[in-house]
Structure 1
Amino acid sequence: MDLSLDLAGRRVLVFGTARPARRVLARYLASGATVYLASPPVDGHSPGRPSPQVRPVEYPHFPHGWRDLVSAVDLVVLVDVSPGTERIVVAACATVRVWLVREPAASVAALGHVTLVGGGPGDGGLLTVAAIQALRDADVVFFDRLGPNDRLDEWCPGAEQVNVGKTPGYHAVSQAEIERMLVASARSGQTVVRLKGGDPFVFGRGGEEVIACRKAGVTVTVISGVTSAISVPAAAGIPVTHREVSRLFTVLSAHTPLDEEELRHLVGLGGTIVVLMGIGTLPHLAAGLARHGMAGSMPVAVIERGFSIQQRTTVARLDTVTAVAGQLGVRSPAVVVIGEVVRLSQNEATIADGLEGLELLHHAADLARQQT
């Protein structure tokens, strides 16, 4: 079904039983349609209605009844029917010229399934085709603060949406509770999506969630996402590698300070350093890198709120970045890039001018401190 169609107020007749058709029913209800469900009797009894919003109808008892039934609606959807019923419905729709589509049935297994979906840095356009399909098939979606979540009504209409996002220093839902919720939902037979920002396996604790599901006997798959470690610098015009400039890059989480041995090794590696979750420890990192031999003139870029309309890039030197970030009020979420590749953003002259301007800003701050 193409949800871009305006189905508000339209009459949609779904053929199938309630549980296999649950996602189809939820999507059409979410689109504003009036939804009917025609299910075959089970042992001579009606299978019942799946929800108060879905209107049950009986299978016709006479051949002309099929034509009368489909002629009363605007769209017919086949989900879970026998080959014989499908032939009858197709012929009836062709006779009265009513649109007909086929939709896949949802799983009816006693044990559900969990899919970890990498949502990328927040731009819905960077979701993969596999991610969109997983969301479309979900019964429940557990989503993060930094992932793309403003269009969930469009991507997974009718699915339950649960916000389990964290903010720095505040975890409304603990990691252990998230894992418990994933397992409990799957054990109830639901198709579960855990939508995470970036990639599930890049500082996303996806590995912990996979282990929790496997220990509980719940099957789990992972759909990779676009990591902010590469995409956010790219959005600012900074490649993490460049021929004859940097042939390697190191990605690190700096929400806790690095020790002296880690700092020493980081300087020794060379190349580009990409720092996630590092605004709070930026002073420690900059001072530590300088202490272990990195040049004070090394360019540093801080890209805040990547891919949003508030995206901002601040460029400084290693020996000025702490003061400049403080002067400009740099805040999380942000990605820090340290290395000569920063000079490649847009063009070298523009970046050079920017560095000079930020050095003047730092010099002015020094003078102000000296005068107080």
Structure 2
Amino acid sequence: MMYSQTKTSAHRPQSSNVGKVWLVGAGPGDPDLLTVKALRVLQQADLILFDNLVSDEIRALFPKAVPAFYVGKRKDDHSIAQQDLNALLVKKAKQGLSIVRIKGGDPFVFGRGGEELMSLREAGIDAEVVPGITAASGCTTAAGIPLTHRGVSQGCTFVTAHGETELNLDWQALAHVGHTLVFYMGVSRAGIIAKNLIGNGLSASTPAAIIENGCRSNQRDIVGQLGELSHLVDTHQVQSPALIVVGDVVNLSARLRTLPELEILNQSCA
């Protein structure tokens, strides 16, 4: 399929003095999972601001003539404060630019897209959100782990393991809800996650998986049990980005994974 690189004004605001901001979800990393709309607005951009989780393969699709700047956040390493980034988006839009603010996954799933959109709305800036495939969906699918499966799990719960000050969650509710649990940004807190779930009644033998670099060429799927999470992270030197999945659906991975060439590391300590 061919895509034109020609800019158009079809989606620019009516005023010639004020630009527009697109909050774009890049998906979990595979450029083939970028939506058609996301690719189109990238090709129309005057300025691109991208996050750490936007993969190199997707960055390669940025138009060469368009300025692109990293504004991402890693643990304890923020390239720009969120409030300053919000102000930058407003400033550049008022200069008449069409700006693509592109994030890994979906802007509204642990991506602070709501905060950015709120700032833009309050400043009277034309803005639109382009949804992306969130990591919990894309990465578990690649690993052959359905988020729901008849007779196994009737729901799923997405949880961020990165709090503003501390990890303040209703662990009892999570342990008893009967859902597939997906923890974002949980690698450094794998032991805390396991301890709290087990301490609130979830069996230590509950199947669990760690998916590192999901939907990328170097994806690793590490399968074990809830009580082993911290050991698995340490043994395999798991690095971000990685998801933690807890629930019986993990047992389906060996039969259902969509990338059969991937090795599933079944490292149970039992």
Instruction: Confirm or deny a common fold (TM above 0.5).
Output: yes
**Equivalent of residue 164 in structure 1, options 71, 78, 89:** 71
**Equivalent of residue 151 in structure 2, options 233, 244, 248:** 244
Provide the secondary structure at the position in 2 that maps to 1:147.
Answer: coil
Question: Structure 2 CA distance, aligned partners of 1:135 and 1:255?
Answer: 29
Question: Corresponding residue for 2:261?
Answer: none
Provide the secondary structure at the position in 1 that maps to 2:24.
Answer: strand
Question: Corresponding residue for 2:259?
Answer: none
Question: Corresponding residue for 1:321?
Answer: 229
CA contact (8 A) 2:172 2:200 kept: yes
Question: Structure 2 CA distance, aligned partners of 1:354 and 1:3?
Answer: 39
Quickly say closer, same or farther: Cα 1:154–1:272, change in 2 above 3 A: closer
List runs of 5+ in structure 1 lacking aligned partners: 5-22, 25-102, 361-372
Question: Corresponding residue for 1:115?
Answer: 22
List runs of 5+ in structure 2 lacking aligned partners: 257-263
**Equivalent of residue 308 in structure 1, options 201, 216, 237:** 216
Question: Structure 1 CA distance, aligned partners of 2:236 and 2:55?
Answer: 27
Question: Structure 2 CA distance, aligned partners of 1:153 and 1:288?
Answer: 41
Question: Structure 1 CA distance, aligned partners of 2:200 and 2:83?
Answer: 38
Quickly say closer, same or farther: Cα 1:148–1:322, change in 2 above 3 A: closer
Question: Corresponding residue for 1:207?
Answer: 114
1:226-245 equivalences in 2 (<5 Å): 226-245=133-152
**Equivalent of residue 347 in structure 1, options 252, 255, 261:** 255
Question: Corresponding residue for 2:104?
Answer: 197
CA contact (8 A) 2:38 2:130 kept: yes
CA contact (8 A) 2:20 2:127 kept: yes
1:47-66 equivalences in 2 (<5 Å): none
Report the AA paired with residue 132 of structure 2: G
Please tell me whether residue 143 in structure 1 is matched to residue 50 in structure 2.
Answer: yes
* Farther off after superposition, 143-152 or 171-180: 143-152
Question: Structure 2 CA distance, aligned partners of 1:123 and 1:354?
Answer: 22
Quickly say closer, same or farther: Cα 1:152–1:289, change in 2 above 3 A: closer
1:173 is displaced (CA, Å) by: 1.1
What TM-score does the superposition give when structure 2 sets the normalisation length? 0.88
Provide the secondary structure at the position in 1 that maps to 2:79.
Answer: coil
CA contact (8 A) 1:165 1:173 kept: yes
Provide the secondary structure at the position in 2 that maps to 1:114.
Answer: strand
Pairwise CA RMSD: 2.2
1:193 is displaced (CA, Å) by: 0.7
Provide the secondary structure at the position in 2 that maps to 1:222.
Answer: strand
Question: Corresponding residue for 1:69?
Answer: none
Please tell me whether residue 282 in structure 1 is matched to residue 181 in structure 2.
Answer: no
More helix by share: 1
Question: Structure 2 CA distance, aligned partners of 1:132 and 1:164?
Answer: 19
1:105 is displaced (CA, Å) by: 4.7
Provide the secondary structure at the position in 2 that maps to 1:345.
Answer: helix
Please tell me whether residue 181 in structure 1 is matched to residue 91 in structure 2.
Answer: no
Report the AA paired with residue 309 of structure 1: S
Question: Structure 2 CA distance, aligned partners of 1:272 and 1:3?
Answer: 38
**Equivalent of residue 334 in structure 1, options 238, 242, 256:** 242
**Equivalent of residue 292 in structure 1, options 181, 200, 203:** 200
Question: Structure 1 CA distance, aligned partners of 2:111 and 2:28?
Answer: 12
**Equivalent of residue 223 in structure 1, options 116, 130, 149:** 130
Q: Which runs of 4+ in 1 moved over 2 A?
A: 103-108, 148-157, 256-259
Larger Rg: 1
CA contact (8 A) 2:221 2:265 kept: no
Report the AA paired with residue 318 of structure 1: L
Please tell me whether residue 359 in structure 1 is matched to residue 269 in structure 2.
Answer: yes
**Equivalent of residue 272 in structure 1, options 177, 180, 184:** 180
Provide the secondary structure at the position in 1 that maps to 2:105.
Answer: coil
1:269 is displaced (CA, Å) by: 0.7
* Farther off after superposition, 270-279 or 319-328: 319-328
CA contact (8 A) 2:29 2:58 kept: no
Question: Structure 2 CA distance, aligned partners of 1:324 and 1:149?
Answer: 27
Deviations 1:39-84 (A, max 9, x none): xxxxxxxxxxxxxxxxxxxxxxxxxxxxxxxxxxxxxxxxxxxxxx
1:122-133 equivalences in 2 (<5 Å): 122-133=29-40
Which gives a bigger RCO, structure 1 or 2 (Cα 8 Å, sep 6+)? 2
Deviations 1:89-145 (A, max 9, x none): xxxxxxxxxxxxxx7457571000111010001111111111011111110010111
